[in-house]
Amino acid sequence: MPLGKLAACFLFLFPLVAQAQSLQENWQSLYQQNWQATELKVTQQQLSQYPAELLTQQARYPDFKQYNWQEIEQVYRVSQTCQKNEQHNANLNDAIEFELAMCNDQLLTDDWFQAHTLLHPAGGSFADRYLDRQPNYQPSHTIRRYLTIDNPQHPLHAALSTLSNEGREALLNGYRAWMEKDTLWLSGEQGWKAVTAETWQPVAKRLEITLSGPNCTFRYSNLCISDVAENVLALRLFVAGLSILILFITVKTLYTRRQQSREKRFILQLLTHELRTPITSLGLTVEMFRSQFDRLPNDTQDAVWRLMSDHQRLSQLTENSKIYLSTQRSQQLLKQTASLDDWLEHTCEKHALSYQLSQDRELTLPFYWLSICLDNLIKNAKQHGHGKIEIRATLTHKLVIEVTDQGYFPSAMAQFFTKFQGKTNHENMGIGLSIVEHLMKLMGGKLIVRRRPTRCILELPL
C-alpha cells in the first residue's frame, strides 16, 4: 500500500480509535464508581453455596441432552402405575427410586438429596417435586439448597426476584453488567449489586455517556454504550436538517403558487385588455347590421341575431372579468336581481332541457357566474354522462341546483391513473368542474359530486 494512502487511513482511523478508548475508560470509571457506592445484593459466598446448575433457567425444563423422550415417558409411567419396570437404563435409577418413594408417601431425608442427582429428567429438581408433593412439609436448609432458583423457597429467590431470567443467565455466564428496567446490575469478585437509577444516572451524566439508545459505540450484554455528546450532536443535526428541508419545501411551494397566480392573473388581464379593442370593433359592426336589419334576408337576420347574442356575451364576459380582477374583493362578483324561474328557463333553453323548481322567487345573486357554473355542469353531463339529464332546483334557506345523469363519475383513483395515459375524454370534465368549484367558493357556496349515478350539486347560501 502506498505511504500516502496508509497515512490517510491512519489519520482517518486515529480519532475513532481514540474516541473508543476514551469511552471504554469512561465506562470502566462508571462501573467502579457505582460498585463502590452500592451495597452487595448477593455475596459471592452465597452464590457458591448453591449448585450453579440449579440457578439457571434450563433447570426448569426436561434435560434432553442426557435423556430421550422414551426414557422420560418411562419415568412418567412409573409415577402413574407405581410399578418398577425391570428393563430401564441405569441413568433412570434415581428418578424411578424417587417416583416409587412418592407413590408410597415415603419421607426422604436430607441424606437422600445429597446422595442422588439434583435434577429430575422431566425438569425441575427432585427437591422441587418433593415439596410439591408435601405442601405442609417444612424443608431444612439442606433441602432448600437443592431447590431451583425459581422456587419461592430457595434462599436466593427473594434477593434475585427483580432480576429477569435473561439477566441472571448473563451474570452467571460472566458478564459484569446487565440493565433491568432502570436498575443496573453489576457482577464482581465479591458478588452481585443492584444499582438504582438515582445512583448510576448522575454518574453517567457526569461522564457524558449513555447506556441505552438507538446508536451504540459498542455493546456489552444488553447495554448500548455511547457518548452523550455524539448522540445529541447527531440528533441536533438531524432535526436541523429536517427543519431546513421542510422550510425550503414550504417556501418553494408558496413561491411557486404565488408565481403561478401572478402569471394567471397577468394572462387574464392581458386577454381582457386585448379583447376590448376587437369587441368594440365588433360592436360597431353589429350596430351597422342592426340599423339595416329590416332590409336583410331572413337567413341573414338569423345569423345577425346569433352575432348580436355572441357580442353581448363577449362584452359581458370582458366587463365581468375586469370587475373580477379589481383590487376590491367585494366588487369581484357583480350581482343582479332576477326571477329564479326566468333565469333557469333562459339557461336550460339553450340546451333544450327542462327543469324542476320547488318555488320561484326574485333573488339578488351573481347570476352571470352562476350561469357559467350551470352551463359547465350541463355540458359535462352531455359529453361524459349517459341517459336522460335532469335538473332540479330547490329553494329554502339556500339555493340547491342538482344536475343528474345516468352515468358513473370516475373515482379519485381512476382520475389519478388517467393522468399517466395521455389525453382522455375525462380531461375536459376535470377542467370544467375545477372552474365550477372555484367560482362556487368565490360566491360563498360549494360544489358537491356524487358518483353512482353522477350528480353534480350547486349549493349557495342565501
Contact criterion met (CB below 8 Å) for 201 and 212: no
Of the candidates 61, 40, 45, 50, which has an alpha carbon nearest to the alpha carbon of residue 149?
50
Q: Same domain for 286 and 426?
A: no
104 lies in some domain: yes
Instruction: Round to whole Å and give the CA distance between 185 and 429.
Output: 71
Q: Same domain for 173 and 24?
A: yes
Q: What is the pLDDT of residue 313?
A: 73
Q: What is the pLDDT of residue 329?
A: 47
Angle (deg, nearest 10), helices 340-349 and 367-384: 40
226 lies in some domain: no
212 lies in some domain: no
Q: What is the pLDDT of residue 334?
A: 76
**CA angle centred on 357, ends 351 and 358, rounded to 5°:** 170
Q: Same domain for 37 and 173?
A: yes
Q: Same domain for 314 and 338?
A: no
Of the candidates 183, 178, 220, which has an alpha carbon nearest to the alpha carbon of residue 200?
183
Which of these three, 297, 324, 351, is where a domain ends?
A: 324
- Using only the alpha carbons of the chain, give its radius of gyration: 46
> What range does the domain containing 79 cover?
51-155
Contact criterion met (CB below 8 Å) for 217 and 226: yes
Which of these three, 290, 324, 358, is where a domain ends?
A: 324
- Give 285-341 pLDDT, tens digit per residue: 777 777 777 777 877 877 877 888 777 777 766 766 665 555 444 455 778 899 999
329 lies in some domain: no
Q: What is the pLDDT of residue 416?
A: 43
Q: What is the pLDDT of residue 232?
A: 54
Q: List 390's β-bridge partners, or say none.
A: 404
Q: Same domain for 133 and 181?
A: no
Which of these three, 121, 155, 189, is where a domain ends?
A: 155
Q: Same domain for 359 and 383?
A: yes
Q: Same domain for 80 and 13?
A: no
Into how many domains does the chain fold?
4
222 lies in some domain: no
Low-confidence stretches of the chain (pLDDT < 50) are 1-20, 327-330, 413-414, 416-429
Of the candidates 22, 454, 415, 431, which has an alpha carbon nearest to the alpha carbon of residue 207?
22
227 lies in some domain: no
Instruction: Round to whole Å and give the CA distance between 455 and 460.
Output: 16
For the entire predicted model, the pTM comes to: 0.46
Average pLDDT, the chain: 81
CATH number where 424 lies: 3.30.565.10
Q: Same domain for 243 and 133?
A: no
Q: Same domain for 318 and 239?
A: yes
Q: What is the pLDDT of residue 19?
A: 47
223 lies in some domain: no
Instruction: Round to whole Å and give the CA distance between 221 and 14.
Output: 26
Q: Same domain for 182 and 291?
A: no
Question: What is the Cβ-side half-sphere exposure of residue 299, based on CA atoms within 13 angstroms?
Answer: 0
Q: List 178's β-bridge partners, or say none.
A: 185
Q: Same domain for 151 and 170?
A: no
Instruction: Round to whole Å and give the CA distance between 366 and 399.
Output: 13
**Cell numbers describing residue 179:** 440493565
Strands (E), 189-251: 191-195, 209-210, 218-220, 223-227
215 lies in some domain: no
Of the candidates 136, 68, 72, which has an alpha carbon nearest to the alpha carbon of residue 107?
136
Residue 43's φ and ψ, nearest 5 degrees, are -80, 160
Q: Same domain for 268 and 192?
A: no
Residue 38 carries which side chain, given as an amino acid letter? T
Buried b (16+ CB within 10 A) or exposed e, 304-315: beeebeebeebb
